[in-house]
Amino acid sequence: MAEKTVSFVRHDQIPPSPPPASETGPLKWARENLFSGWVNTILTVLAIYFIARFVFFAFPWFWNGVWDAGSIKECRDILTAAGKSTGACFAVLVDRWDHLLFGFKYPATEYWRPTVAFILLLVAAAPALFYKYIPSKFLLFTALYPFIAFWLVWGGSLWVPVTILAAIIATGLVFRLVEGLDFNLRRVLAGVVGLVSALGLAYLLYQGATELWFISNSIGTGGIFTVIVSLLFKAASVFMFVFFIPMGIFVGYAIYDDAEGGGLVTIVTTLFALYAMLAFALGPVSTFINNIIPIELLAVPSRDMGGYMLSLILGAVCVSLSIPLGILLALGRQSTMPLIKGVCVVFIEFIRGVPLITLLFVANVMLAYFMPPQSNFDLILRVIIMITMFSAAYIAEVIRGGLAALPKGQYEAADSLGLNYTQATRLIILPQALKISIPGIVNVAVGLFKDTTLVSVISMFDIVGMIRGPIQQSTDWISIYWEVYLFAALVFFIVCYSISQYSQWLERELRTDHR
């Protein structure tokens, strides 16, 4: 009888064997990225060698650092007594941390105010930066934050920012009211606003021409360069003298002629209303309310701002203002209207052709020539205007590149849907162009934040100005360099690296194509 055999049938899968150690983990990454060829191997070995040399050289300097001393001489005496040949004097950071962060004039009892403003900045920015994960109702606090921060940092009466906020809300109501007028009322309003605009523009051009002529006579004749500059100012003055009346008539008629469309009339009327409320109602209304319900903080003038706080103020405000201004300039440069396109092109090319430090000197010295007599134009406000203009010109070119990168079919699709220019730009064109332009916008923003240190050349004591001025010029820390500059580099790196990482995360979040 034949022997029976039963064949074995497996019912479960054999678990996979782990990969070799060289094909996973750090070994695989090192083999593929550091030692993938003989060239990369040589470069990796050289890089490790120089990094090791630097670490061995710098480590004793960090490790032997002195944190408790009142002067650099005391630091050196401590190192000598301990028998150490080298060591950092980090005691300057402990001794002058308040100057590095807040400047040397900001009241020490009020340090809590900019600190709270900075914390609230993170809270206010979160709904705008992480809009997918935070409810949109929190954007209300984002809109209120500038007024809260203004009051916290500068102090004074609470009712000043509240009145400004009320003026902005009233301006929005004026915009809606003018936009809803019928044609006959809008025609009358366009005539009145056009006449006022014509007279106002003519007056401003006449005053500007007078100031240019005064500047041209004040330059002198010290050489061929000054003669040429004087003649250029004279030529600009003559040009404005000749055209101040025609330009006023042209602008006034353009506003009157736009009554049917209503866009230009609405915008100009709204701007007039905002100017009237800020110029004539802000002071009396805020003073009246403050006399009834006094809510005040110690007022701190702008000249007392300093340290890293000043850099953060300039960076946050200028970036926030330059992005919408850059969008408008980019759209204006793409416009088919010759006047708007010409103005935007001239502005962008002129600003991009002038160094920022020159614009800062103009803000510090020459801008006062164009102001009415006895006027006091805050220096920080002048610097914010110049830095915003500078960065907006570069952001405009970045966004123009994003607009040019869109296929023509996107514009044709918007036309086929029956969308007008505003709707197509807001719903179809700009969202795609801004997504393309994110790396360039972030690059400009990071560069702008670092360029805020240039204000130290016009006697504004930001963190670099504090190091070069009150700290290094003091007898206690007269020859201190590496410690304070490394601290400045560290705080700038933290902010700039955070911005860079957020931009990369945002690009991944907005990546809606199929790859």
Q: Are 380 and 360 in contact (CB under 8 A)?
A: no
Q: Is residue 514 very low, low, confident or very high in pLDDT (cuts 50, 70, 90)?
A: very low
How many beta carbons lie within 10 A of that of residue 106, not counting itself?
22
Among 17-21, 36-40, 435-439, 492-496, the minimum mean pLDDT is found in 17-21
Is the pLDDT assigned to residue 515 strictly greater than 80?
Answer: no
Rounded Cα–Cα distance for residues 344 and 243 (Å): 20
The residues facing 156 across adjacent strands are 297
Of the ranges 172-181, 313-322, 453-462, the best mean pLDDT one: 313-322
Domain annotation for the chain: domains and CATH numbers: 29-55 (no CATH), 64-95 (no CATH), 101-149+305-515 (1.10.3720.10), 156-297 (no CATH)
Instruction: Return the amino acid letter for 57.
Output: F
Among 43-47, 411-415, 509-513, the minimum mean pLDDT is found in 509-513
The pLDDT, as a whole number, for residue 374 is 59
Average pLDDT of the segment spanning 490-499: 91
pTM of the full predicted structure? 0.79
Chain mean pLDDT for the chain: 83
Nearest to 65 by CA among 495, 487, 489: 487
Rounded Cα–Cα distance for residues 77 and 73 (Å): 6
The pLDDT, as a whole number, for residue 512 is 61
Is the pLDDT assigned to residue 287 strictly greater than 60?
Answer: yes
- Show the tokens assigned to 336: 């088919």
Among 30-39, 79-88, 258-267, the minimum mean pLDDT is found in 258-267
* Residue 286, C-beta contacts closer than 8 angstroms, at least 6 positions apart: 157, 159, 160, 162, 163
Average pLDDT of the segment spanning 386-415: 86
The pLDDT, as a whole number, for residue 370 is 60
Token pair 């008629």 is at which residue?
253
Share of the chain above pLDDT 90, in %: 10
pLDDT tens string 293-303: 888 888 888 88
Q: Is residue 393 very low, low, confident or very high in pLDDT (cuts 50, 70, 90)?
A: very high
Tell which phi-psi region holds residue 155, choosing left (phi > 0), alpha (psi between -120 and 50) or beta.
left
How many beta carbons lie within 10 A of that of residue 22, not counting itself?
10
Instruction: Return the amino acid letter for 100.
Output: L
Q: What is the DSSP letter of 462?
A: B
Is the pLDDT assigned to residue 419 strictly greater than 70?
Answer: yes
Among 270-279, 415-424, 444-453, the minimum mean pLDDT is found in 415-424
Length of the chain: 515
Nearest to 115 by CA among 125, 106, 126, 127: 106
Rounded Cα–Cα distance for residues 391 and 319 (Å): 8
- Who wins on pLDDT, 183 or 60? 60
Is the pLDDT assigned to residue 493 strictly greater than 90?
Answer: yes
Rounded Cα–Cα distance for residues 133 and 253 (Å): 49
Instruction: Return the amino acid letter for 329.
Output: L
* Residue 392, C-beta contacts closer than 8 angstroms, at least 6 positions apart: 321, 322, 323, 325, 326, 329, 351
Is the pLDDT assigned to residue 513 strictly greater than 70?
Answer: no
How many beta carbons lie within 10 A of that of residue 229, not counting itself?
15
pLDDT tens string 74-124: 888 888 888 888 888 888 888 888 888 998 888 989 999 999 999 999 999
pLDDT tens string 330-380: 888 887 777 778 888 888 898 888 888 888 887 777 766 666 555 567 788
Among 69-83, 181-195, 250-264, the minimum mean pLDDT is found in 250-264
